[in-house]
Structure 1
Amino acid sequence: MDIAVTGSIATDHLATFPGRFTEQILPESLATISLSFLVDDLQVRRGGVAANICFGLGRLGLTPVLIGAAGTDFAEYDAWLRAAGTDTGSVLLSTARHTARFMCTTDADHNQIASFYPGAMVEAQEIDLNETVDRIGVLDLVLVGPDVPEAMVRHTRAAHAAGIPVAADPSQQLARLEQESTRTLVDGARYLFTNAYESALLQQRTGWSEAEVLARVGVWIVTRGADGVSILTAGGPAEQVPAVTTDQAVDPTGVGDAFRAGFLAGLSRGLPHRRAAQLGCALATIVLESSGTQEYKLLPWDLSERLTRAYGSEAAADIGAWPGEPV
C-alpha cells in the first residue's frame, strides 16, 4: 500500500514543568493572564505530525512518502528519516527559512501548553501533489495532516481530483481553519481522524452535526487518550477499542501520530478497522513511554506481548509479526 503523508515537519522543543498548570491559573484573572513556568528539563527532538507518522510507518515496514516543507537546516533530519524508511523526495526545501519549531511544556498531569512557529512550512502551499504521483506512480491513500491551511485544502482537492482516497487529519489546525476550508477537508474523506476535543471543535467549525459529518466520510476515528478509541460510521453503533495501558507514561507528545501510523499500517495489511486501531493503540503506548516522538524502540516480541496483554492472543495473531529495529 503506497501512502503519502502531508503536513508539518518540525523540530520539537519539549520542556517539563513539575507542577500543575491548573494550580497556577486564577479564574478571576483570566482577562489579564501572564504566566512563566520554571521547567526542569528541555529536550530538543525531531518532530512534526507528518514526519512522526512517516517515521512510525517506516518502523512498521512501509515506505511512506513525506510531503511537506522544510528549511535550510533539514539535511541531518532528512538523512534520519530516509534511514528509517521514509521517502523524502517530495519535501520542498526552503532557501530562506528554518524548519518549523514546536515548543511545548508538559505538566505533572500531562497537560500541555504549546506554541508552533511555521517557518518553512508557509511554503507548503507551493507543493503540487501531482508531482509526487508523477514521480512514484499511483498512491493508495493520502493523509492530509496539519499544515498551512492553503496547503491542506490544495492537497485535498488534488487527491480527490486524481481519485486518490483521503484520510483527513486537521488536528491542531482546526483552531485556524475557516468553515469552508474545514468542510473541504472533511467532505468525501475515506477516513477522518480527531481526538475527543477536536471532534466537538470540528462540528463547530463545519456547522455539521456528528450525523452530518458521518454522512460525508467513510470512517471517523476519535482518539480518547487513556479511554482508547472510538470508530464511528454512518448508521451504525460506535465501536470502542480500549487503550493499551501502561504505568510508565513519560511524554504524551506524538502519541496521536503514532496511533495514526499504526492504524494506517494495519490498513496496509488488510486488517479490519478494529484490529488496525489495536495496532495503533499499541504503538501509541510505546511512544508514550518515550521522551520524544521518534526516539522509541520497536521490537517485535514487545509489540506482540503488548497486543496479547491488551486484546488477547487471537488479536495478536491476527495483527501478526512486524519488522523490528534495523540492524
Structure 2
Amino acid sequence: MTSLICGSLAFDTIMSFDGRFSEAILADQLHKINVAFLVPAMRREFGGCAGNIAYNLKLLGGDPLIMATIGIDGDPYLERLAGQDISARCIRRVADAYTAQAFITTDADSNQITAFHPGAMTFSHQNRIADAGAVRLAIIAPDGRDGMLEHARQCADARLPFIFDPGQGLPMFDGAALRDFIDLASYVAVNDYEGELLTERTGLSFAQIADRVTALVVTRGENGAHIYAGGEQLEIPPVQVTQVVDPTGCGDAFRAGMLYGLSQDMDWPTIGRLSSLMGAIKIEHQGGQNHAPSRDEIEARFEAAFGYRF
C-alpha cells in the first residue's frame, strides 16, 4: 500500500570534526561566538527527510510516494529515485531556486551543528495532497513551514491518517500551531529533545499529547524509544550496533519503520522494534542513504535481536 511522504529533498554536505564542540565553545562567551572547525573529511550525499524516509521504506519493501520540491540542480536526485523505482510524480521543480542544501558537521561525540538553506523547499505549499491519489497513510516531515501547515490540513480534510514528524522544523511553530498539528494528526513522532521542546511550547505533557492521537513516539537514541498508545507506555529496546559511524538520517530510518509497520497493521511493540532496527542499521553507515541491506538481511537481524520474525 502506498505511503505518502511529505518533506524535504536535499543535498547534504557532511563534514567530520575530530574534536568536541564543547571544548571549542566557551559557555560564558555564547553571546559572541566566532569559531571555526577543521573538518578533514567531507562528502556530498543525497538527503532530505522525505528522500531518506522513502529510501528506507523501499528497503523494507514498502511503496513510498514522495511529495516535495527540487530546484534547478535537482536532476541527479530525480535520476537516483528513478534508479530505485521510487515515484517522482509528486515532486515539483522550482525553476528559480536551488534544491535545499544542508551543511552538517559532526563531532567526536556525534553531536551535530547544521546550517540549512531551504531553497526550493520554501515552495512546498504549492503541492497538493489530492494530487497523490489513493494512499493509505502519510507523514508530514520537516519541509517548508507553509507546506507543513497546508499538508496537515489537507490530510485531515481528506481523512488521511498521518504521522506528524516536526523534526528540526519544530522551532518554526509556536504553541498554538503545534497544538493544531497534534489535533489533526493520527500519530506524533519526535526525538527526546524535540519532545521536550514540544511539551514546553504546547503546555501539554506526553500523556496529554498521547490522549489526542493514536500514538506518540519518542525516540531516545541509544536508549531505544517510548511509545505512548492505548493508555500505556511501551519501552522499545535499542538494537546493538557494530559501530557508530554517522547519526545523520537515523530518525528518518526509524520513521520509515513506523510507516511500514502501520501499513502492515503490526502491533506497536513490533512497529517500535522494527523502527529501532532501521535506525541501528543506518547509524552503522555514512550518510542517510548508503546502507543497503536486503529484505532478508533485515528480517534475519530483527529475529536475532528480538527472537521472532516480523
**TM-score, normalised via structure 2 length:** 0.96
Can you list the C-alpha shifts for 1:106-148, whole angstroms capped at 9, x where unaligned?
0111011111100000111111111222xxxx22111011111
1:302 to 287, 297, 300: 297
The CA RMSD over aligned residues, in Å, is: 1.3
Moved over 6 A (4+): none
Partner of 1:323: none
| C-alpha displacement of 1:218 | 0.9
Partner of 2:266: 271
Q: Distance in 2 between matches of 1:189 and 1:143?
A: 9
| C-alpha displacement of 1:234 | 5.4
Q: Distance in 2 between matches of 1:120 and 1:174?
A: 19
Partner of 1:202: 198
Can you list the C-alpha shifts for 1:182-232, whole angstroms capped at 9, x where unaligned?
122111321110000111101122222223212211100111100001111
- Asked if the contact 2:59/2:294 (under 8 Å) is kept, the reply is no
- Asked if the contact 1:244/1:306 (under 8 Å) is kept, the reply is no
Amino acid at match of 2:293: L
Q: Distance in 2 between matches of 1:248 and 1:92?
A: 38
Partner of 1:158: 154
- Asked if the contact 1:59/1:85 (under 8 Å) is kept, the reply is no
- Asked if the contact 1:193/1:221 (under 8 Å) is kept, the reply is yes
Change (3 A) 1:52 1:31: same
| C-alpha displacement of 1:306 | 2.3
2:166 to 146, 163, 170: 170
| C-alpha displacement of 1:82 | 2.6
- Asked if the contact 2:125/2:150 (under 8 Å) is kept, the reply is yes
- Asked if the contact 1:149/1:181 (under 8 Å) is kept, the reply is no
Q: Distance in 1 between matches of 2:257 and 2:85?
A: 15
Which SS does the other structure have where 1:120 is aligned? helix
Partner of 1:26: 26
User: Structure 1 regions of 5+ residues with no counterpart?
Assistant: 320-327
Partner of 1:71: 71
Q: Distance in 2 between matches of 1:61 and 1:214?
A: 29
- Asked if the contact 1:61/1:85 (under 8 Å) is kept, the reply is no
Partner of 2:237: 242
| C-alpha displacement of 1:235 | 2.7
Change (3 A) 1:268 1:234: closer
| C-alpha displacement of 1:301 | 4.3
Amino acid at match of 2:177: S
Q: Which moved more, 1:164-173 or 1:83-92?
A: 83-92
Residue 14 (structure 2) pairs with residue 14 (structure 1): yes
Greater fraction strand: 2
| C-alpha displacement of 1:80 | 1.0
Q: Distance in 2 between matches of 1:186 and 1:160?
A: 11
Which SS does the other structure have where 2:178 is aligned? helix
Q: Distance in 2 between matches of 1:142 and 1:306?
A: 27
- Asked if the contact 1:255/1:288 (under 8 Å) is kept, the reply is yes
Q: Which moved more, 1:299-308 or 1:145-154?
A: 299-308
Q: Distance in 2 between matches of 1:196 and 1:76?
A: 34
Q: Distance in 1 between matches of 2:177 and 2:2?
A: 26
User: Structure 2 regions of 5+ residues with no counterpart?
Assistant: none
- Asked if the contact 2:102/2:115 (under 8 Å) is kept, the reply is yes
Q: Distance in 1 between matches of 2:297 and 2:40?
A: 31
The count of aligned residue pairs is: 310
Q: Which moved more, 1:262-271 or 1:117-126?
A: 262-271
Partner of 2:100: 100
Amino acid at match of 1:244: V
- Asked if the contact 2:238/2:276 (under 8 Å) is kept, the reply is yes
Amino acid at match of 2:266: L
Which SS does the other structure have where 1:215 is aligned? helix
Which SS does the other structure have where 1:66 is aligned? strand
- Asked if the contact 1:64/1:85 (under 8 Å) is kept, the reply is no
Residue 181 (structure 2) pairs with residue 185 (structure 1): yes
Partner of 1:125: 125
- Asked if the contact 2:227/2:234 (under 8 Å) is kept, the reply is yes
Partner of 1:111: 111
Can you list the C-alpha shifts for 1:62-102, whole angstroms capped at 9, x where unaligned?
22110011111111211211322321100110001110001
Residue 275 (structure 2) pairs with residue 261 (structure 1): no
